[in-house]
């Protein structure tokens, strides 16, 4: 499948020209992000919880404590809305009304299934770890059986999906271009800083 088929729930209606259904572009947004927001309802009460995730083929894995209210609720197969947003820039216009942001976002709707198979759960956690730092899984201690039991992993199929993207500069009213007000885009990029080693349990220095 090269494109997601829009559904009544995923069809972008507000500024539809920004809607994206191309699978490759959707996957590139998901692969660049690290944090998603999972929306769901329990006993009529809505919740939106941020959590880490990773894409694996045509599904998304997300995880947390087995005692988590969100994960216990989703474990029951309730409807979920998962979103990922990447902020690319602040768009400063000549009027307050036309200020905006450049962004890439994805919305996934569906039902999450609990991952109960030990091999699949371990593979999902390996993917989580390597998504944070490629190759990290092979450098660290793998989870124990107790740690696996304390961790819930859920998989959400990428079936009902859409993306929305804004790029470019401000779009001002024609008469506002005469104003002596700076306008343009302030780029925003997420980047890794200089690693800071954990020295709390480092062995003492010897002379």
Q: How many other CB atoms are found less than 10 A from the CB of residue 108? A: 27
pLDDT of 109 strictly over 70 = yes
Task: Read off the pLDDT of residues 166-200 as tens digits, 9 standing for 90 and up.
Answer: 999 999 999 999 999 999 999 999 988 888 888 77
Q: Of 70, 162, 81, which Cα lies nearest the Cα of 114?
A: 70
16-167: CATH number:
2.30.110.10
* DSSP H/E element including 55: strand 45-56
Confidence of residue 87 (pLDDT cuts 50, 70, 90): very high
DSSP 88-127: EEEEE-SSSTT-EEEEEEEEEEEE-EE---HHHHHHHHHH
pLDDT > 90 fraction of the chain, expressed in percent and rounded: 66
For β-strands 59-65 and 160-166, DSSP reports them as: unpaired
Residue 137, helix vs strand vs coil: helix
d(CA 83, CA 108): 6
**Domain ranges within the chain, ordered by starting residue:** 16-167
Q: In this structure, what DSSP letter does residue 9 have?
A: T
Q: In this predicted model, what pLDDT tens digit does every residue of 17-46 receive, in sequence order?
A: 888 899 999 999 999 999 999 998 888 889
**48 token code pair:** 């939106």
């Amino acid at each position: 499948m090269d494109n997601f088929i829009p559904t009544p729930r995923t069809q972008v209606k507000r500024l539809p020209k920004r809607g994206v259904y191309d699978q490759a572009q959707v996957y590139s947004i998901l692969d660049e992000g690290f944090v998603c927001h999972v929306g769901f309802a329990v006993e009529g009460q809505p919740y939106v919880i941020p959590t880490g995730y990773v894409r694996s083929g045509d599904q998304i894995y997300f995880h947390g404590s087995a005692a988590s209210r969100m994960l216990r609720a989703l474990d029951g197969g309730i409807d979920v809305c998962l979103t990922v947003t990447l902020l690319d820039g602040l768009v400063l216009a000549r009027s307050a009304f036309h200020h905006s942001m450049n962004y890439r976002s994805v919305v996934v709707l569906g039902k999450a299934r609990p991952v109960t198979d030990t091999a699949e759960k371990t593979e999902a956690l390996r993917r989580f770890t390597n998504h944070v730092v490629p190759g990290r899984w092979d450098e660290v201690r793998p989870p124990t059986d107790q740690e696996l039991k304390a961790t819930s992993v859920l998989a959400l199929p990428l079936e009902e999906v859409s993306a929305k993207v804004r790029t470019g500069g401000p779009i001002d009213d024609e008469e506002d271009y005469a104003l002596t007000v700076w306008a343009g885009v302030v780029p925003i990029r997420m980047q890794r800083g200089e690693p800071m080693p954990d020295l709390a349990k480092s062995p003492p220095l010897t002379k």
